[in-house]
Amino acid sequence: MSVLHIAVLLPLIFALIIPFVYRFYKRIHLGWFVLPIPVVLFIYFLSYISTTMSGNTVMQKANWMPHFGMNFNLYVDGLGLLFSLLITGIGSLVVLYSISYLSRQEQLGNFYVYLLLFMGAMLGVVLSDNIIILYLFWELTSFSSFLLISFWRSKQASIYGAQKSMLVTVFGGLSLLGGLILLSIAGGSTSIQTLIQNVSDIQTSPFFILSMVFVLIGAMTKSAQFPFYVWLPDAMEAPTPVSAYLHSATMVKAGLYLVARMTPIYAVSQGWIWTVTAVGLITLFWASLNATKQQDLKGILAFSTVSQLGMIMSMLGIGAVSYHFEGSESQIYIAAFTAAVFHLINHATFKGALFMITGAIDHTTGTRDVKKLGGLLTIMPISFTITIITSLSMAGVPPFNGFLSKEKFLESMIDVTQANIFSLDTLGLLIPIIAIVGSIFTFVYSVRFIGQIFLGSHKVDALPKKAHEASLLMLVSPAILAILVIVFGFFPSLLTGSLIEPAVDAISHSSGTTAEIHMFHGFTPAFLSTLGIYIVGIVLIVTFAYWVKLLQQHPTKLTINYWYDKFGAVTPGYSGKFTDAYVTGFTRNNLVIIFASLVVISIVTLIVTPFSIDLKDVSAIRPFELIIVVLIITAASMIIFAKSRLFSIIMASAVGYAVAIFFIFFGAPDLALTQFVVESISTALFLLCFYHLPNLNRHKETREFKVVNVIIAVSTGIIVTILGLIAYGNRHYASIAAFYKEHVYDLAHGTNMVNVILVDFRGTDTLFESAVLGIAGLGVYTMIKLRTNTTKQDKGGKNVEQTEK
């Protein structure tokens, strides 16, 4: 295993160590122990810049499950390195910020474990060359982000936001898994770089379009594109360090990374170009429009993040046009990749700082409601300075870095209308129009963000706390990002050769890209469009009170959130009512549904696909076997009429012991011994558990109740018997038993065949069975340790809330 592998796994390793540090050493804030991890990783990844600048890449391989095509191979090129630096660089600043934001009374051990899990998962996503490993890390980002969003689990809004993010992103993850599997089948490999080399085979495969659709769904759910953006605003209930890290610089950009990484494979399709571009522009327009009417500072930043992600997504779509041209004409559209990569960096700087300043304002004033804020300019001058720099950068105002990438964005949107393919020169005329309109609303909410907080009158009585400037430690991280906003604005050449050009080469699958970024390119259509954006934006700001009323009258039933709550959420919508209809808490009802479904599905299958029952090879039934069968039937029947749990347990054990005797007669003493041990332990455990339960009290059973039970029981028994006979009489392949007998010694080096089968030949089954037992054990332990509220009555008959362990 290489140093690169250790670097990716380092956050995950420390996630295991942090709980012990937190438990035994609490003299200083836990964040100081965590901070060196992203800092060291950031410095380590900086060492790769010279490699990628020279056009070279690094591949480090580690075999894991080569037979399944699952090797832990890591690949560093310009694109992977860019994201790695964002993950570790912004991660370092977020950890530093969290030291002052989160008090030592918080559950810091949990917070930093979740944060490190997420950091390691993101590094795995952007550096994995194996698509299956990429998917595993992809799902780990969803899991760890769920834990981070629900960190304040006492708040219902946090639980709701975490649940929504999990449902949407996991749905996208399953779609991505399907797309990656189809892609690996079409390309004959699980290596991304090999798939890119086999792109001609993939593009002629019948799975090409379907895999593309599934991959796009996965990417767009993670990057909160329309209509999957609904999870991101609710995820803002997470602590501000989480919002600054996940929702501005890292997690939401995983989808952008995936689109960029898969562009060399799918760019040949006009469906890819139009879908990525159109979805990005719609997201830009819709989210920027909604950001203008938000009343919560985090709500404004949430929708602004969605709009900026849409902007970058659209540039990746336009850049894919370059694959259909050559030479200088191709470079015109590759410039869209340059704009996308540059804005990716810029967005991480100004949006990360804005989230941190929002957290500082919330921390010092006690509110994020814009109706209660205002007039903080003289009270929080440092926060104001950082906000005006980063907000104007987000608005695309010079001389900040956001202006440069916004100009490149508009230039790309206008240039694509010259392409004479895929109707871009006709229908594509809508592209710059939507881009400009979306940019106008971006300007509006960015400028208003400054005014709503710092300008106007100071509403002392409306604030929960007396406003004051945030601590210096809390301001260090956003100040660093604000400085980068200025530096990258005046000196973009610091990024072009070192980060932007290598990343663009990786996306465009070319070499020698030249990124030209200047503050002024002349009176170009893009520059004139920018002037128009400023003029119209200022007019809309002045007249805001008049036209915003139209947005606020938007019918609730026409929102995606409304339909999510009705169909997507567990409660209290339609899905919740449907679930409550059959999940009644009555075990008998659940069993009826399960067994009835088994019977119906089996009968339909037997009718549609008839099977024959061949009993010619069935051995003769011996008399002692009939005796055991009679014992089993008798014991099972007596359970039905038992009046006590003790007698029921004894009869159930008798059935198990009788089956074990069958194993002895059939020449399987190991199985018989295992069955005897399991039955003995199970019986003891049942007796121990049921001893603490009240006496068995059978409810009144109607005739219909009994008839249904009989029908279900008899039909299930008949169906299972028929299925067993069909399986016995329709063996199309030779039994694997001969293979086990032949190779138990030479391949597995064992002497006990049963043990070898369980541990070696079927080791994966045993592994997952053990995992299930482990998860069940954790569940039991959690329930034991969980504090539950029980309502009791005092002598006066009043309800008293009592906390018990």
Phi and psi at residue 691, to the nearest 5°: -65, -30
d(CA 235, CA 445): 20
Tokens of 297: 């500072």
Orientation angle between helical segments 254-266 and 270-291, nearest 10 degrees: 160
Question: What is the 8-class DSSP label of residue 377?
Answer: T
CA distances from 252 to 90, 220, 444, 551, 799 (A): 14, 9, 23, 26, 46
Q: 127 Cβ partners below 8 Å, 6+ apart? A: 4, 8, 74, 75, 76, 80, 84
Report the relative pairing of strands 74-76 and 799-804 from DSSP bridges. unpaired
Q: Percentage helix, strand, coil, to 5, in the chain? A: 70, 5, 25
* Amino acid 116: pLDDT: 96
pLDDT (tens digit per residue) in 108-158: 999 999 999 999 999 999 999 999 999 999 999 999 999 999 998 888 888
d(CA 225, CA 201): 30
* Amino acid 41: pLDDT: 97
d(CA 567, CA 577): 10
Helix, strand or coil for residue 302? helix
d(CA 141, CA 249): 13
Q: Is 103 exposed, middle or buried (0-12, 13-18, 19+ CB in 10 A)?
A: exposed
d(CA 432, CA 323): 21
Nearest to 337 by CA among 90, 530, 84, 514: 514
Q: Quick one: three-class SS letters along 314-365?
A: HHHHHHHHHHHCCHHHHHHHHHHHHHHHHHHHHHHHHHHHHHHHHHHHHHHH
Phi and psi at residue 303, to the nearest 5°: -70, -30
Element (H, E) at 180: helix 156-187
Point out which residues pair with 82 in neighbouring strands. none
d(CA 453, CA 208): 50
Q: 361 Cβ partners below 8 Å, 6+ apart? A: 297, 368, 373, 376, 380, 383, 453, 470
CA distances from 442 to 175, 180, 402, 449, 554 (A): 31, 35, 12, 11, 20
CA distances from 160 to 143, 295, 301 (A): 15, 20, 19
Q: 551 Cβ partners below 8 Å, 6+ apart? A: 289, 290, 292, 293
**What is the Cα gyration radius of the chain?**
32
- The vertex-534 CA angle with 236 and 333, nearest 5°, equals 80
Site of tokens 């830009």: 284
Point out which residues pair with 789 in neighbouring strands. 803
Distance, CA of 730 to chain centre? 43
One-character DSSP codes across 113-152: HHHHHHHHHHHHHHHB-BHHHHHHHHHHHHHHHHHHHTSS
Indicate the domain borders of the chain: 267-552, 736-805
Q: Are the C-beta atoms of 46 and 84 separated by less than 8 Å?
A: no
The ranges of the chain with pLDDT < 50 are 789-805
One-character DSSP codes across 521-540: --S-HHHHHHHHHHHHHHHH
Site of tokens 């005014």: 451
Point out which residues pair with 792 in neighbouring strands. 800
Question: What is the 8-class DSSP label of residue 47?
Answer: T
Site of tokens 């455990």: 685
Element (H, E) at 384: helix 381-395
